[in-house]
Structure 1
Amino acid sequence: MLCLSGEEQQKPDLREKQSLKFVPSNLRNSWRTGSLVLIVVLAWLVISARLVYLQYIGHRQFARVVARQQVYKEKIPARPGDILDRNGRLLATTIVSNSLYVVPQRLENEKSVARICDLLQLDQAAFRNRLQENQDKLFLWVKRRLSDRELSGVRALDLSDDAWGFRQEYRRQYPQGALAAHALGLRDIDGKGQGGLEEAFNHLICGQDGHRFLIRDAHGRVIEVRNDSRVAARNGETLVVTLDSIIQLYTERQLQSIVEEWKPKSACAIVMDVKTCEVLAMASVPTFDLNHPEGIDESAWKNTAIASIYEPGSTLKPFIVAAALEKGLIQTDEEFDCEHGEYRMGKRLLHDHHSYGVLSVTDVLVKSSNIGMAKIGEKLTNPGLYEAVTAFGFGQKTGIQLPGELGGIVRPLKNWNIYSTGSIPMGQEIAVTPVQLITGHVALANQGKLLNPRLIRDQIDHNYFPRSEEEPAQVRPLVSTPIVSPEVADWLVQVPMVETVTRGTGRKAQLEEYVVFGKTGTAQKPDPQTGKYSSELHVSSFICGAPAHDPRVLVLVVVNEPSVGENHYGGTIAGPPAAKILKQTLMYQRVPFDHSSQTPPERTAQKLRNALR
């Protein structure tokens, strides 16, 4: 076998390397040239394809982008409509104010930032951060709706660059300040209604914005205004509400006197026209200034007249008596043994505030006997009681046309028991809102006809646009639902409810000028810790109206948790201010004085009794 040495084994490799030296150089150059040409051709094809795409395929898309950058659609704000009271007094209006803006791209003088922040009381560090975050933008708000003092101060600065400018905006103004704050509501910085009528009728008040098109150059400057495509704004409608500014002022002053004297957690008052169920005044405390709502306590936002529920206590009793009379289960001259202050219903022992013996139906209401009412409840039974409270609208919203209204609480009939038979007639186991309660009492004062409460009297459209079918008129029709007969309603108002004021629990509400009818309510609140009724926490209320022979106005005052004094009875706390509101309202409306005595003549009472037989 032939063996090769190591030197001989390496020779073939050397021969291969030597053979490569003889490859022609022009062949190597042609390969490189071909590769370069191929790359150039591919690049040319890619560029050509892109040009073809831009020219033919993406042309329309890019043309639209350019048009959007050049043509700007500017909104023409609609002026929100005014709100007037029933006599045309201005409650809410809209004025033009100036707002300051800056163009971050053009801002060169940094000293002006510090001067602006000092003048407008802005946080300089926070504002500079905003500028930094929006440095590429062409628009940034500095402060909107400047006051006259702020506007004159900014103009006096004589800013050197053109980065600062003003735009005119609408600003909501409330000429009466805090008057009817909860009923009116307000509009936020962007003009959107928040609470009250401003929110409920925002779609009518705010109107419809218009627009126009502006042509801008590459720097964002307007070079042309295209008025040929302008769409005019449709200004908001003016609402005429049922509130009366004078009566509202009377009411709020009396509420303030309650706050000063009794230091309650909250309080509210409602004044209603008996014939139409129109709200003449609606007030709630704590309250706030509509022009300066910033920094107010959170509790002040709540409209307790529609959004606070409580057990009505004795103010519910006339409805139960009305239902029993209407069904013929009791008679006006019937008497009830009130068991000298103690009466057992099953396992429950009921008590009266005083030891009463035999009382007539009238005296059961006048003296507010719980035992007498419990015996009337036994005659009605639970189904009859349930029918009575629901017929007068409890457990459902009244539809007062204000946001945030609650429907109260009426438990399903299947959950009622023997305790309910005694509790419901005395105003327990049921929760109502003040607006529900006064609406129910309006039915009694209006000969048994339940009306839907109203806040809007009229709408004024200042535009020459026909109303579409999708925009029906918002003024609610006067809907009347008979609940009890006129004879039953008249007897309740003119006999027991009048005598409640003349010789019963509402004596402090008597007026020399008018015969007043009313009912007191003193409801115990549950103790948050024990869950049982508290002897210290109360809701004191009083409902009253006049003249008794032809009721015109009804007033309800509800005081939640008075914190001073020993006796928190409704007749003591809520009665006197309610009577003052009633008197001022009737005199303001020029209702003639009653020339009869406070106690209705016996022949009138007898006539009503005979009508019920």
Structure 2
Amino acid sequence: MSKAWRYFFILFVLIIAIGIVVFKLIHMQSVEHERLAKEGQNRSQRTTISRAYRGMILDREGKPLAISTPVDSIWADPYFVSADDPKLLTLLDKLDLSSADKMEILARIKKGQGRSGFVYIKRQVSPFVASEIQQMNIKGIHLDREFKRYYPDAEITAHVVGFTNIDGKGQEGVELQYDKALTGKDGKRSIHRDLKGGVARKNEDDQIVKHGQDIYLSIDRKVQYIAYKYLKEGVIENNAAAGSAVIVNVHTGEVLAMVNYPSYNPNNLQNATADKRRNRVLTDVYEPGSVMKPFAAVAGLKSGKYDVDTVIDTSPGFYRLNGRTVRDFRNYGEMDLRHILMKSSNVGISRMVLSLPANDLADTMREFGFGRITGIAFPGERSGFVPSPRKWGEFPLATLSFGYGMNATALQIAQAYAAIANGGKLIHPTLLRHDPQIPTQGYPVIDKDISAKMLDMLTSVVEGLGGTASKARLSRYHVAGKTGTVRKAVAGGYATDSYMATFVGIVPSSDPQFVIVVVIDDPKGQAYGGGSAAAPVFTEIAAHVLSMLGVPPDKK
């Protein structure tokens, strides 16, 4: 072999080698650039995410009503994972996914093959399952720490607390109402390491983790349980469509319990229909019926024309206005205002109201908070409606005196009765625990003398001979209260066999502490009235709550 030939051979080899190197460099800078850059960053850059947990929702005693538990979510990077990888198929089997879910995940991985991406495999798996997945050590399969919301009391507090979606965002109830305060902010820390593993530099945009704020509610977990237990029993016993109950502290406006039945389990929303999720206490408005008569009596007392012993003739038990009839259960004859409330006389209360200026009753109702939201700021609360009877004539004004032609929520009724109970001050209800160091905000709607007279008359409704609420009596406590029974409004008028039964009680009436409102929707059978369907539920709730809270008996 000549020297010239060897020279050209060596030169050719060098050119080929240099060409290969140049080709490799070009290939690395173009085709493999993204992968190499990512691997380089993975070796030199470390970013750690500190997950913020959502604040707890607690009752007034600090007992948890909503907590976050750590879970892991599994995801795949299609750049590193093949849809045909046997390990991936084994992983999917281990996660107990449906065939449809498996096919969808594999299709998404296959579609993103060769490109860096993000495909969720399963959200919020238990730590045990996550540990098994981690031990499989499949390249491109990652675990992210998340938090899953858990509700210890399930359906008992569901309508108050609400629930979050899978991303931890509040959807209903307190979870939605205070979502911003409950939601934390994840922390982030990024560093770059040198070839020896030392810290080369730190990022200046690092963020400190900020956990969500805990929310203390006014709800008493034990009181909530009692209210739910006996409301549920009452709805089932009366074969009713639904029921609601709310308990309010008359001095602070704190809601100690707010329950509805049927309910749902916020830990498993599979059967949580919209109807079951509705917090009827403040989202459902209805014509309350005779529970509004005390506010007509207040209008009469405020006018100065009437007092507790003022006599009104209700004979012959009915009268006609513009071709329509106002009637009582029977002819009660002459009765004073106390007995008009005791017997729940439509004729007596409406004749009194018709003798007053036309808008006195509607104005009184509005002063007590009817026709506007209570200020509790709960999602979905409705304002109700109070008409202006002057525009309608005498019959609408007469029916307004016994709770027809207007509507309200159970919470508005509780707020209004609390004003009667506490000496005449309207206090907006709240679901947050009250700080005793801060004075309760409110404003007077009646003077203490009228408040005392109303309490006295409402006590007669329950404890007086022949009162309509005898089933609301308690053996150890005096009770002031009022029943209400109305036909349910339907298209074109009122149902003939469907009712709303209500009882409102103030306990103990000698030293009022709580207002309890019970509403039974469409009780079946003969016992469909407020005194028959709702009052017994009140009795059970009140007796157990007063005893449990250590309220001294006021009966000797």
TM bucket, shorter chain: 0.7 to 0.9
Tell me the alpha carbon deviations over residues 470-492 of structure 1, each in whole angstroms, 9 at most, x when there is no partner: xxxxx997222111111111111
- Partners of 1:207 and 1:498 lie apart in 2 by 53
1:126 is the counterpart of 2:104: yes
Give the gaps of 5 or more residues in structure 1: 1-65, 218-222, 460-474, 597-613
In structure 2, the CA distance between the partners of 1:458 and 1:582, relative to structure 1 (3 Å rule), is closer
Alignment of 1:95-134 (within 5 A): 95-108=69-82, 109-122=84-97, 123-134=101-112
Tell me the alpha carbon deviations over residues 25-78 of structure 1, each in whole angstroms, 9 at most, x when there is no partner: xxxxxxxxxxxxxxxxxxxxxxxxxxxxxxxxxxxxxxxxx99xx989876442
Q: Which residue in 2 is equivalent to 1:18?
A: none
Give the fraction of aligned pairs with identical amino acids, expressed as a percent: 29
1:347 is the counterpart of 2:323: yes
- Partners of 2:242 and 2:337 lie apart in 1 by 34
Q: Which residue in 1 is equivalent to 2:541?
A: 581
Q: Is contact 2:415–2:428 with CA below 8 Å preserved after alignment?
A: yes
- Partners of 1:141 and 1:323 lie apart in 2 by 64
Q: Is contact 1:554–1:582 with CA below 8 Å preserved after alignment?
A: no
Q: Post-superposition shift, 1:331?
A: 1.7
Q: Greater CA radius of gyration, 1 or 2? A: 1
Q: Post-superposition shift, 1:83?
A: 1.5
SS in 1 for 2:125: coil
Q: Post-superposition shift, 1:433?
A: 0.5
Q: Which residue in 2 is equivalent to 1:211?
A: 188
- Partners of 1:578 and 1:317 lie apart in 2 by 19
AA at the equivalent of 2:263: T
The 10-residue stretch of structure 1 (576-585 or 425-434) with the greater mean CA deviation from structure 2: 576-585
Q: Which residue in 2 is equivalent to 1:142?
A: 121
SS in 2 for 1:178: helix
- Partners of 1:391 and 1:541 lie apart in 2 by 22
1:567 is the counterpart of 2:527: yes
Q: Is contact 1:367–1:500 with CA below 8 Å preserved after alignment?
A: no
TM-score, with structure 1 as normaliser: 0.77
Aligned-CA RMSD value: 2.6
In structure 2, the CA distance between the partners of 1:313 and 1:432, relative to structure 1 (3 Å rule), is same
156, 175, 184: which one pairs with 1:179? 156
AA at the equivalent of 1:274: V
- Partners of 1:543 and 1:457 lie apart in 2 by 23
Q: Post-superposition shift, 1:175?
A: 2.2
SS in 2 for 1:521: strand
1:539 is the counterpart of 2:535: no
The 10-residue stretch of structure 1 (165-174 or 238-247) with the greater mean CA deviation from structure 2: 165-174
AA at the equivalent of 2:66: A
- Partners of 1:286 and 1:418 lie apart in 2 by 39
SS in 2 for 1:399: coil
SS in 1 for 2:361: helix
Tell me the alpha carbon deviations over residues 360-399 of structure 1, each in whole angstroms, 9 at most, x when there is no partner: 1011101101011111111223211121111111000001
The 10-residue stretch of structure 1 (72-81 or 585-594) with the greater mean CA deviation from structure 2: 72-81
Q: Post-superposition shift, 1:112?
A: 3.5
Q: Is contact 1:381–1:421 with CA below 8 Å preserved after alignment?
A: no
- Partners of 2:112 and 2:455 lie apart in 1 by 69
SS in 1 for 2:413: helix
- Partners of 2:377 and 2:192 lie apart in 1 by 45
Tell me the alpha carbon deviations over residues 438-471 of structure 1, each in whole angstroms, 9 at most, x when there is no partner: 1000000111111110111269xxxxxxxxxxxx
Aligned pair count reads 505
Q: Is contact 2:64–2:152 with CA below 8 Å preserved after alignment?
A: yes
Q: Post-superposition shift, 1:201?
A: 1.0
TM-score, with structure 2 as normaliser: 0.85
1:337 is the counterpart of 2:313: yes
In structure 2, the CA distance between the partners of 1:170 and 1:344, relative to structure 1 (3 Å rule), is same
Give the gaps of 5 or more residues in structure 2: 1-39
- Partners of 2:201 and 2:409 lie apart in 1 by 55
In structure 2, the CA distance between the partners of 1:171 and 1:225, relative to structure 1 (3 Å rule), is farther
SS in 1 for 2:75: strand
Q: Which residue in 2 is equivalent to 1:430?
A: 406
1:242 is the counterpart of 2:218: yes
- Partners of 2:337 and 2:203 lie apart in 1 by 77
In structure 2, the CA distance between the partners of 1:137 and 1:497, relative to structure 1 (3 Å rule), is farther
Tell me the alpha carbon deviations over residues 168-227 of structure 1, each in whole angstroms, 9 at most, x when there is no partner: 11222222222311111122111111111111111111133333346699xxxxx99946
Q: Which residue in 2 is equivalent to 1:193?
A: 170
The 10-residue stretch of structure 1 (341-350 or 115-124) with the greater mean CA deviation from structure 2: 115-124
81, 85, 89: which one pairs with 2:59? 85
1:490 is the counterpart of 2:466: no
In structure 2, the CA distance between the partners of 1:160 and 1:345, relative to structure 1 (3 Å rule), is same
Alignment of 1:439-454 (within 5 A): 439-454=415-430
Q: Is contact 2:51–2:145 with CA below 8 Å preserved after alignment?
A: no
- Partners of 1:518 and 1:121 lie apart in 2 by 56
- Partners of 1:72 and 1:476 lie apart in 2 by 49
SS in 2 for 1:251: helix
Q: Is contact 2:472–2:539 with CA below 8 Å preserved after alignment?
A: yes
Q: Is contact 1:382–1:420 with CA below 8 Å preserved after alignment?
A: no
